[in-house]
Amino acid sequence: MRSISDQYVADARQGPSGIRRRELTAFLILAFTIPWLLWLVRALTGIDLVAAGGMLGVGVATFVTVRWVRRPGDIPRDTAMAPLRPTGRLVRFCLIGLAAPPAFAFLAVAIGALAGVYPIDLTGFSGLRAVYAPETAGQDGVPVGTILSALAVNLGMSVLALPLFFCEEWAWRGFLLPRLRPLGLWPALLLGGLIWGLWHLPGFVGTGTAHRLVPFLVTVVLFNVLLGWLRLASGLIWPCVIAHAANNTLVNAFVQVLFAADDRQALSNPWTLGLGGWPGWLVMLAVIAALVAGDAFRRAAAREPVPARMRARPRRLRRMVTGVFTVVLVAALTGAAVQHSLAPTDPRRYAIPGRLVDLGSHHLHLRCLGTQGPTVVFASGWGDSSTTWADLQAALATSGRRSCAYDRAGYAWSSPGTGDQDVTAQADDLAALLSRAGESGPFVFVGHSWGGHVARLFHARWPERVAGMVLLDPADEHTMKDLATPAAIQAGVWSAAAAVGLLRTGDWMVDPREPRLTRDNVPVVFGPATWEAAAAEMRTYDASTRAVREQPRTAGSWGSLPVIVLSARGDQPTITHHSQIAALSTRGRHIVASTDDHYLHLADPALVLHHIRGIARQKACHQTGGEPAAALLRRAQEEGGVRPTTTATC
């Protein structure tokens, strides 16, 4: 019975070289084309088969390549499906594949908890309850039944999905890894991981999750190195199949939520969560370092040596890899040149939707619609521009309600400011902007996330200019989590993408729920200047949150100011904080939305619009001395068909 190495030597003798460019090209074209076709189906029909269909498709690509392109004498041996003996060795490595990913994830969770980026709850297990037993929310104690049920569910999912994980492992570790080996062990492992990661790209495009791509790629490359060792050490793909299944089910859906608090934002942060965030990277790097120190990679590679003929003639593959990187480099340089040449003409091609207001040291963009007061002023969250409010502005304008949205210094059409752009400077800018633009107050402020900080600082300094506030999932100034670092990294990645012209290729990287005004102006709205400004905001994170913390925190300290605080459901500590903000006013109301989406104005615009109109009507009633109930009802129906609540009546 021939070994796998013997099979490679025999195959090498049959052809002009040990590495065949044709089979690699055929495999990669098929492997990448299928998920993009499924992405097109999703874009046209809304039917999402990208994940499962892509996994099955890469298995099909492998079968087609080995059956009709490569044509080895023994497909199972050629692609590491056999031999299965000795059985004891196979079982031992399969157990390693099953146990290692959850063990790594537990270590990553522990590191994250110690670093303060993982919200741990060892008394109520609120995160686990929120996912698997929401009816028990708020209870204390170890939910043994829920833990066992969640474990059983994920083990069952692992078993059911094994055919799909087999397809991937057959492709990436069974077919691709040996074909990249002539480059050297480490180039093969790293390049294979990058190819594997980029293959997932259709799952990110058009889903509003592009910000997760970079940490995902880092995780995939590191995980590929470990799976590569497991594949070479065992000589088979089956332990990798089990490890892959354990990671995608037991790790992602069980271990990473087992000890978690019900903190939606922390549990959705791709830079810090479990094995997929930086704590997990540290764990995987430590394991890789230990394997290297123990000479495990060299011994594993020696079990399946690259045949001499393949080692002697790797030039064709190296030329191909060099060509790929050359194409990427040329594309990046070309994109940068295009970006640099087109940027000066952007003001003509992406006309400013509002007007620029001169503040002396810089200009801010302001877009106002409607005529009827009180004027609603929108303050955007971090990384967002005035265009994110375009749909809400249009809805308010249909009934005449005046609203204004603006871009903070450096964002979109606004020019960069001078000095540190902390939240105090941003509140000063907003006050000057409204005055110089001739907008008369008092105003109803709508602040989302970071914009909530701006609105609260504005009210603290000029309370007479504020008629009311609607705060949408406002940022928490008391959090001890390191939000600035991952945000700054995200800003850097987006800035680099914009610098090489990637954002000029369309709106595919933008949340599809964004208004058309955003999607039509992506190169400006999310251009390099915007992300430079966003990064500058994060550099003043400590000063900004300190300025907000220093404001009065006593219940009722805002007097009878009409205030609505809308929270996304799920994150209990944040919800509690939001209720405390609402209690600052004797007329404050705290409402938890039915969605856990932080972008409430995109996820539930009708809810947001209803409460903006309610606050605006309260001020209008106060200014006019009241309005008959019938007239108020007619006005409410005209402005959106929503019956006024008791807080909206005069």
**pLDDT, tens digit, 9 for 90 and up, residues 186-219:** 999 999 999 999 999 988 887 767 778 888 999 9
Distance CA(13)–CA(494), nearest Å, equals 48
The answer, yes or no, to whether residue 76 has pLDDT greater than 50, is: yes
Q: Where in the chain is the domain with CATH 3.40.50.1820?
A: 349-625
pLDDT over 90 percentage in the chain: 54
pLDDT class of 532 with cuts at 50, 70, 90? confident
pLDDT class of 511 with cuts at 50, 70, 90? confident
Quick one: pLDDT at residue 267?
75
SS3 for 33-70 is HHHHHHHHHHHHHCCCCHHHHHHHHHHHHHHHHHHHHH
Cross-sheet strand order for the sheet of 466-472 = 355-358, 363-369, 401-406, 372-379, 443-448, 466-472, 563-567, 588-592
563 - beta bridge partners? 469, 588
The answer, yes or no, to whether residue 638 has pLDDT greater than 80, is: no
The answer, yes or no, to whether residue 538 has pLDDT greater than 70, is: yes
> How high does pLDDT run on average in the chain?
85
Quick one: pLDDT at residue 406?
98
H or E segment at 525?
A: helix 522-525
pLDDT in tens, 222-256: 999 999 999 999 999 999 999 999 999 999 888 98
Distance CA(647)–CA(650), nearest Å, equals 8
pLDDT in tens, 286-338: 999 999 999 999 999 998 877 554 554 455 556 666 666 777 777 777 777 77
User: Is the pTM for the entire model greater than 0.85?
Assistant: no
Place of tokens 């480490």: 186
CA 464 to chain centre: 39
Quick one: pLDDT at residue 531?
87
Quick one: pLDDT at residue 496?
78
Are 376 and 443 in contact by the 8 Å Cβ rule? The answer is yes
Place of tokens 């609402």: 582
Task: Check residue 568 and report its DSSP letter.
Answer: -
pLDDT in tens, 352-396: 999 999 999 999 999 999 998 899 999 999 989 999 999 999 999
CA 531 to chain centre: 16
pLDDT in tens, 2-20: 344 444 433 433 333 444 6
Output the CATH code of domain 349-625: 3.40.50.1820
Instruction: State the number of CA atoms in the 13 A half-sphere of 47 facing the CB.
Output: 6
366 - beta bridge partners? 355, 406
The answer, yes or no, to whether residue 644 has pLDDT greater than 50, is: no
Give residues with Cβ within 8 angstroms of 557, minimum separation 6. Answer: 584
Are 374 and 439 in contact by the 8 Å Cβ rule? The answer is no
Give residues with Cβ within 8 angstroms of 648, minimum separation 6. Answer: 613, 614, 617, 618, 632, 636
pLDDT class of 581 with cuts at 50, 70, 90? very high
472 - beta bridge partners? 448, 566
Length of the chain: 650
Are 582 and 611 in contact by the 8 Å Cβ rule? The answer is no
Quick one: pLDDT at residue 253?
87
pLDDT class of 166 with cuts at 50, 70, 90? very high
The answer, yes or no, to whether residue 37 has pLDDT greater than 50, is: yes
Q: What is the Rg, in whole angstroms, of the alpha carbon atoms belonging to the chain?
A: 28
Closest CA to 157 of 268, 248, 283, 266: 248
Quick one: pLDDT at residue 47?
85
